[in-house]
Amino acid sequence: MTLTAVRAGAYLHHVAFESEKPAELAAFYADAMDMDLKQVSETEWRCEGPARRFVAVKGENKKLAYAGLACRDREGLDELRARAESSGLAVLQSPSPYLQDGAFAVRDPDGHLICFGLAKPDTGTRKGLRGPTQHLTFASFDVEAFQEFYHGKLGFALSDRVLHADGRMATCFVRSNHEHHTIACFKSNRQGVDHHSYEAAEWDTIRDWCDRFAERHIQLMWGPGRHGPGNNLFIFIEDPDGNWIEVSAELEVIHDRPVKDWPQAARTLNLWGKAILRS
């Protein structure tokens, strides 16, 4: 199978969430996640920091409006569009303000709008804590459909799976570049976003993020810990709408290795201690 999304070098560039109180949500991200805030309309606010962007729009709490993935070059983007069309997917117009003309979008089996395009040039010179937007993880009733869509129809590479004792899939990790996962999915009793993550690069930067959160009286809801799949260090906090935010460091870089199957167990989710099992 051709790994079209990997050939395109796609990476998570930004996320947009709906909220009943988007101004308050955006203000939280600007302060907690060290980003500049601007209101662009009566219903949309944008937060922008060093290599990270968050959009809040008026709507339903805890609902993804769209995710924006940037491709390496025009050739890769065109190949990815052709792959989507040949897989029978409806190619839609991208609503993302951060992608150039020629971007497109598709909806995954749970209805999430995923945009692909070339990133507009970043003219900002803002300094701040290291933390590029890194990955997005969903909760779903059907992890197999997730795998078929992202791996089978778009050509993401399958990195790891977590399996129940009877062989049913509990978690699926797929990547569109060299990092362990760009998008992942947990089997759950609900549909939506499980969490989105920012890359801290190394342990010391996670410490700095924790100090920043502490100054703002934002308590960690989980971590520090280390995941099994991906081997990354992590902490989690929660935004005012109840969305989970991860700050992650040292995520595995994959060049070429077989897919690994992990058992559905607490130690798989956290090699160091407490785990939050989704199924």
Domains of the chain in sequence order: 4-117 (3.10.180.10), 133-269 (3.10.180.10)
Quick one: pLDDT at residue 128?
A: 84
Q: How far is CA 42 from CA 39, 45, 61, 109, 110, in A?
A: 8, 8, 17, 31, 28
Q: Which of 234, 210, 204 is nearest to 222 (CA)?
A: 234
- Secondary structure of the chain as H, E, C letters: CCCHHHHCCCEEEEEEEEECCHHHHHHHHHHHCCCEEEECCCCEEEEEECCEEEEEEECCCCEEEEEEEECCCHHHHHHHHHHHHHCCCCCEECCCCCECCCCEEEECCCCCEEEEECECCCCCCCCCCCCCEEEEEEEECCHHHHHHHHHHHCCCEEEEEEECCCCCEEEEEEECCCECCCEEEEECCCCEEEEEEEECCCHHHHHHHHHHHHHCCCCCCEEEEECCCCCCEEEEEECCCCCEEEEEECCCECCCCCCEEEECCHHHHCCCCCCCCCC
What residues contact residue 211 under an 8 Å CB cut-off, 6+ apart?
none
Quick one: pLDDT at residue 127?
A: 81
Quick one: pLDDT at residue 10?
A: 98
Per-residue confidence of the chain (279 residues) as pLDDT tens digits? Answer: 799 999 999 999 999 999 999 999 999 999 999 999 999 999 999 999 999 999 999 999 999 999 999 999 999 999 999 999 999 999 999 999 999 999 999 999 999 999 999 999 987 677 888 899 999 999 999 999 999 999 999 999 999 999 999 999 999 999 999 999 999 999 999 999 999 999 998 999 999 999 999 999 999 999 999 999 999 999 999 999 999 999 999 999 999 899 999 999 999 999 999 999 999
Two tokens at 140? Answer: 């779903």
Contact between 275 and 236 (Cβ < 8 Å):
no
